[in-house]
């Protein structure tokens, strides 16, 4: 509750990082930005005063500020040492999607530096890293907030944590966790009205709109969803060893899985995808005949300790079927909430809403450290 200074290091100035810096600039009582790093360059507030601070602005503006110390890429260990020596508590915001930086969270945390991040890699990798992160946080009396690793700024992890912490029994978690796959299925098999579009055409459209990764197979393989499920399952108390320890239904036809990930491989993939349209049309029709629609979902059955990711049929009047655009939806079935789940729905991707989750976490960490 005291007003001791808090120091902030930010790594990553991509889409999320840039949106985060814009939000940081407008936060009242924001911590002092003393490290701003991107892949090949680092800005530091000069020691030993850690002042003047770096302005919270886009990279070019920040880098043009006089009186900052500039260097090439620093090792995570060096940034941790710099932050730990600041005259007050420190926070690292990791706005990258870099697994190697995530593996260094324990180094920061043990030094008492709290971590806030939308980077899902560290929390969805081997269970040993998950355990190391939280043990290191306890050891360093530091905090770890990672709301935006699932559903971006939507209140997903905070809600699950509240349910667990207050003693509710979470029985099942189910939802659409990928904005890309949400768009693909809402377009391919809408719950109201109908669509004649072939699956491959919908994928091509999504790629053109920039809704997919540069290589759409990075969405279609289901791994992004599997990583999110891993995080949720662990918070719900399941010891999921890794995101490939449970069934994931890939939407990449087996025949195309071995095409290279090069630009040429992507082109080949897109041009051959129509060969498999009949398969997806068949899935759609089968659902249709049951009065249902097909969706790509992740689910966690807590009691059965079963996590899975793949296609499933849903009643047309269900919340999952009625999803719009590229929205996510997450349903928590619990003992207290009974037959009707607690549902959170909305945009689950995008720079601004992802950064919002990061900023809101940062505010909470600052409130706890002050």
Enumerate the known binding-site residues for L-homoserine. 213
Kindly indicate which of the ranges 40-48, 216-224, 232-240, 332-340 contains the residues binding a second copy, using the contact rule CB under 8 A. Answer: 332-340
170 binds a second copy (CB under 8 A): no
Kindly indicate which of the ranges 19-27, 126-134, 240-248, 255-263 contains the residues binding a second copy, using the contact rule CB under 8 A. Answer: 19-27
Output the six-digit token pair for 241: 């060893």
| Cα–Cα distances in angstroms (integers) from residue 47 to residues 38, 50, 82, in the given order | 20, 5, 9
84 binds a second copy (CB under 8 A): no
Strands (E), the chain: 6-11, 32-38, 41-44, 69-72, 89-94, 113-116, 144-145, 170-176, 292-301, 306-315, 327-334, 342-347
Q: Which residues participate in the annotated binding site for NADPH? A: 96, 120
- Give φ, ψ of 94 to 5 degrees: -100, 105
51 binds a second copy (CB under 8 A): no
Find all residues with CB under 8 Å of 292, minimum gap 6, and list them: 313, 314, 315, 316, 321
Q: Which of 110, 111, 121, 228 is catalytic?
A: 228
134 binds a second copy (CB under 8 A): no
Q: 121 an active-site residue?
A: no
327 binds a second copy (CB under 8 A): yes
Number of residues that bind a second copy (CB under 8 A): 48
The only residue of 65, 81, 97, 159 in contact with a second copy, by rule CB under 8 A: 159
171 binds a second copy (CB under 8 A): no
277 binds a second copy (CB under 8 A): no
Q: Which of 12, 10, 21, 11 is nearest to 356 (CA)?
A: 21
Helix, strand counts (H, E) of the chain: 15, 12
Looking at the Cβ atoms of 162 and 255, the one nearer to a second copy is 162
Least distance in angstroms from the C-beta of 363 to a second copy: 6
Report angle CA 44, 49, 50 to the nearest 5 degrees: 30
- Which string of DSSP letters, residue by residue, matches 255-270? GGTTS-SSHHHHHHHH
1 binds a second copy (CB under 8 A): yes
Contact 55, 62 (CB under 8 A): yes
Looking at the Cβ atoms of 87 and 291, the one nearer to a second copy is 291
Q: Which of 235, 81, 62, 237 is nearest to 156 (CA)?
A: 235
Judged by CB under 8 A, the chain residues 181 through 200 that form the site for a second copy are 191-192
Query: Which residues form the catalytic set?
Result: 228
Q: What residue ranges bind a second copy (CB under 8 A)? A: 1, 23, 26-27, 141, 153-155, 158-159, 162-163, 165-168, 191-192, 317, 319, 322, 324-325, 327, 332, 336-347, 350, 352-353, 355-356, 359-360, 363, 367-369
């Amino acid at each position: 509750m005291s007003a001791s200074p808090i120091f902030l290091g930010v790594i990553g100035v991509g889409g999320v990082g840039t949106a985060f810096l814009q939000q940081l600039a407008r936060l009242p009582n924001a911590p002092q930005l003393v490290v701003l790093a991107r892949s090949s360059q680092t800005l530091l507030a000069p020691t030993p005063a850690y002042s003047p601070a770096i302005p919270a602005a886009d990279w070019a503006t920040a880098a043009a500020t006089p009186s900052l110390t500039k260097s090439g890429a620093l090792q995570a260990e060096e940034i941790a040492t710099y932050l730990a020596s600041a005259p007050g508590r420190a926070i690292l915001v990791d706005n990258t999607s870099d697994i190697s930086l995530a593996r260094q969270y324990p180094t920061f945390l043990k030094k008492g530096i709290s971590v806030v991040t939308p980077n899902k890699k560290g929390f969805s990798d081997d269970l040993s890293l998950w355990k190391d992160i939280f043990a290191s946080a306890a050891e360093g009396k530091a905090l770890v907030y990672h709301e935006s690793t699932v559903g971006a700024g939507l209140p997903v992890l905070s809600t699950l944590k509240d349910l667990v912490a207050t003693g509710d029994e979470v029985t099942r978690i189910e939802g659409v966790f990928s904005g890309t796959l949400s768009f693909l299925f809402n377009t391919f098999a809408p719950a109201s009205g109908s669509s004649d579009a072939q699956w491959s055409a919908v994928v091509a459209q999504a790629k053109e709109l920039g809704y997919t990764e540069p290589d759409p197979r990075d969405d279609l393989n289901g791994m992004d969803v599997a990583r999110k499920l891993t995080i949720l399952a662990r918070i719900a108390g399941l010891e999921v060893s890794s995101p490939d320890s449970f069934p994931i239904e890939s939407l990449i036809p087996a025949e195309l899985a071995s095409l290279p990930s090069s630009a040429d491989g992507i082109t080949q993939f897109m041009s051959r995808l129509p060969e498999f349209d009949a398969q997806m049309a068949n899935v759609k029709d089968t659902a249709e005949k049951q009065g249902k629609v097909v969706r790509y979902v992740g689910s966690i059955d807590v009691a059965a300790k079963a996590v899975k990711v793949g296609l499933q049929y849903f009643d047309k009047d269900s919340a999952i079927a009625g999803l719009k655009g590229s929205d996510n939806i997450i349903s928590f079935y619990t003992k207290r909430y009974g037959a009707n789940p607690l549902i959170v729905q909305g945009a689950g991707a995008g720079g601004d809403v992802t950064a919002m989750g990061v900023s809101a976490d940062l505010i909470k960490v600052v409130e706890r450290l002050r």
